[in-house]
């Protein structure tokens, strides 16, 4: 009832009208601070323009774990958490068939546009609720168009929802690197996509040398270029310049040379150009019905994992992404018209600084040794309950007990869950453990327990869910030392993973900022009120009231 009353009491600025086009931008693995950390080097027409003319929610934080790409994109566009929309990770263990389930891979469909036509395709079938894009399509009796683009399949499929006209992503296994789709959406690529692919821009962008945009000595917001924290891509130190021509041969042998665009700033350029082609060729925003374009920039995530959030490489990628945002805004001004489109920009998660770097600067860190935890717990359970395969699966923060064996032995599942919790919580690096029966019967209102509960899905999640100490990274290698860790991860409920940007810009948006704590799941509620739609079926977010004053 509360959300319905908001629909009547709030309205856009007097005289405003519905936008012709809604653009949702997700910058994969963007921490909120990255809006400001490199601000002095940003252009006036990219991030700064949105900050100057739009509305900025400075305290936007995810309200669940795990903070990963598929869960983030799903939550933004469904307006709810994994507990309801069901996408609890990029993939997850399925206790019913003892296999892993992908968030988007779908064996019932095939890739369209790939040279390997029988390759497994992708679909949104694992998404259990509707998205804001679905609601837009249904509300206009399918006259509105929804197009979703990304380098990642999950970055395109999940925002598009169940009813997108098309979702396109980048196929690293197709030489020379094409945008593809799935038979879920179409039987063949539109002519404009085939034409774009035939330009073979991927190859042209890999026939380049990546050097810093500005003199490297000016990158004082980052640690030194030559350091021990980053993954080495070639045979030398992880330093500029990166000659992709030389790197290509190494990756070509593994048939993944086009994967390199995933950590090159040119990957963002390629996606921007493809997105602009989509607007023109699909005639988005050209009639009385509001259309939607979702763009997910993935390079920041791939490069973030390799180089870490404090690297010169990441700084340079953001400076160049700023120029892509500027180019996109200028294009939209011309193609759709100033004040005719509404845009939001956010991220699906942040990232923890590289553990070896944190160790060197004396910030608490460490390695959560998952394989070791599994072995220790297995021995404990066998000692208490007798020899047996009591653990069905254990990886990352999820433990699945062997429920069949427990039932056959006449044991109580809840008792074994609690024994596992009591044992695991005493191991080094584990800050908390919650049994699924507690997550189903108790209501947690604050802290990490609340975030875990919001990410828990009764059919898909494990029997015990873990949280780790702040600053830790998870690794299956039980022997790796924190000083040897290279690259970084994300997924926790700590602010380095949950605190992301949220900017609004364009039609009906006035300048301002708020430090009120909000969540990315509030985005779909807000768009629902702007566009006068039905809320997505699982919606649990709230409209961002500052945008309606």
DSSP alpha helix (H) spans, 185-264 = 191-198, 201-206, 244-252
- Residue 404: strand pairing partners: none
Q: Is the dihedral of CA 208, 213, 218, 220 positive or negative?
A: negative
And the tokens for 318? 């953001």
d(CA 507, CA 339): 5
Structure tokens at 109: 């469909």
* Helix (DSSP H) and strand (DSSP E) numbers for the chain: 21, 23
Q: What are the angstrom distances between the C-alpha of 156 and each of 77, 88, 168, 268, 503? A: 11, 17, 6, 14, 20
As given in the structure block, the two tokens for residue 445 are 């209102």
Name 391's bridge partners. 401
How far apart, in whole angstroms, are the C-alpha atoms of residue 333 and residue 327?
A: 10
> Under a CB-based contact definition with an 8 Å cutoff, are residues 320 and 36 in contact?
no
Q: How far apart are CA 143 and CA 357, in angstroms?
A: 52
Residue 509 DSSP one-character state: P
* Both structure tokens of 419: 């024994």
- Name the nearest CA neighbour of 215 among 41, 351, 437, 32: 41
69 counts as catalytic: yes
Omega before 34 cis (within 30°)?
A: no
SS3 77: helix
* Sheet order of strands, 105-112 included: 120-122, 105-112, 178-182, 166-171, 146-150, 291-297, 21-27, 341-346, 502-506, 55-57, 512-514
Distance CA 181, CA 172 (A): 13
- Residues in Cβ contact with 84 at an 8 Å cutoff, skipping those fewer than 6 apart: 78, 128, 129, 538, 540
Strands (E), 436-529: 464-468, 472-475, 499-500, 502-506, 512-514
- In the set 60, 67, 69, 174, the catalytic residue is 69
Distance CA 436, CA 106 (A): 28
Q: Which residues are catalytic?
A: 69
């Amino acid at each position: 009832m509360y959300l319905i009353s908001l629909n009547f009491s709030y309205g856009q600025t007097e005289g405003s009208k519905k936008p012709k086009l809604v653009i949702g931008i997700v910058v994969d693995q963007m921490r909120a601070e990255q809006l400001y950390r490199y601000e002095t080097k940003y252009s006036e027409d990219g991030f700064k323009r949105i900050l100057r003319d739009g509305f900025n929610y400075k305290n936007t934080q995810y309200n669940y774990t795990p903070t990963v790409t598929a869960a983030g994109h799903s939550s933004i566009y469904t307006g709810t958490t994994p507990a309801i929309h069901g996408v609890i990770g990029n993939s997850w263990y399925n206790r019913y068939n003892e296999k892993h389930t992908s968030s988007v891979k779908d064996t019932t469909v095939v890739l369209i546009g790939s040279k390997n036509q029988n390759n497994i395709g992708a679909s949104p079938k694992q998404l259990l609720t509707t998205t804001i894009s679905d609601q837009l399509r249904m509300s206009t009796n399918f006259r509105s168009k929804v197009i979703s683009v990304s380098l990642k399949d999950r970055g395109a499929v999940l925002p598009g929802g169940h009813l997108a006209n098309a979702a396109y992503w980048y196929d690293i296994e197709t030489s020379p690197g094409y945008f593809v789709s799935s038979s879920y959406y179409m039987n063949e690529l539109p002519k404009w996509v085939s034409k774009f692919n035939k330009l073979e821009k991927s190859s042209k962008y890999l026939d380049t040398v990546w050097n810093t945009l500005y003199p490297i000595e000016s990158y004082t917001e980052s640690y030194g270029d030559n350091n021990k924290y980053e993954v080495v891509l070639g045979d030398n130190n992880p330093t500029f310049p990166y000659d992709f021509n030389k790197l290509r041969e190494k990756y070509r042998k593994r048939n993944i040379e086009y994967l390199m665009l995933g950590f090159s700033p040119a990957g963002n350029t390629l996606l921007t150009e493809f997105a602009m082609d989509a607007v023109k060729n699909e005639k988005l925003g050209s009639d009385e019905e509001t259309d939607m374009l979702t763009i997910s920039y993935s390079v920041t995530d791939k490069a973030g994992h390799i180089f870490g959030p404090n690297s010169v490489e990441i700084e340079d990628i953001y400076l160049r992404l700023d120029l892509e945002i500027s180019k996109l805004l200028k294009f939209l001004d011309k193609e759709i018209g100033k004040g005719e489109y509404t845009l939001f920009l956010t991220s699906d998660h942040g990232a923890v600084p590289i553990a070896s770097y944190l160790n060197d600067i004396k910030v608490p860190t460490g390695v959560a040794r998952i394989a070791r935890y599994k072995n220790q717990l297995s021995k404990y359970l066998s000692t208490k309950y007798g020899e047996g395969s009591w653990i069905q699966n254990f990886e990352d923060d999820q433990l699945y007990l062997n429920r069949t064996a427990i039932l056959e032995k006449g044991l109580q599942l809840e008792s074994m869950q609690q024994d596992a919790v009591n044992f695991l919580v005493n191991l080094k690096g584990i800050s908390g453990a919650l049994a699924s029966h507690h997550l189903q019967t108790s209501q947690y209102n604050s802290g990490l327990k609340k975030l875990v509960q919001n990410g828990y899905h009764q059919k898909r999640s494990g029997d015990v869910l873990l949280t780790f100490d702040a600053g830790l990274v998870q690794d299956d290698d039980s022997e790796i030392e924190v000083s040897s860790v290279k690259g970084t991860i994300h997924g926790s409920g700590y602010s380095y993973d949950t605190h992301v940007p949220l900017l609004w810009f364009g039609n009906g948006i006035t300048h301002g900022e708020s430090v009120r704590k909000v969540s990315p799941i509030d985005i779909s509620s807000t768009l629902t009120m702007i566009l006068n739609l039905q809320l997505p079926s699982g919606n649990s977010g709230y409209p961002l009231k500052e945008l309606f004053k």
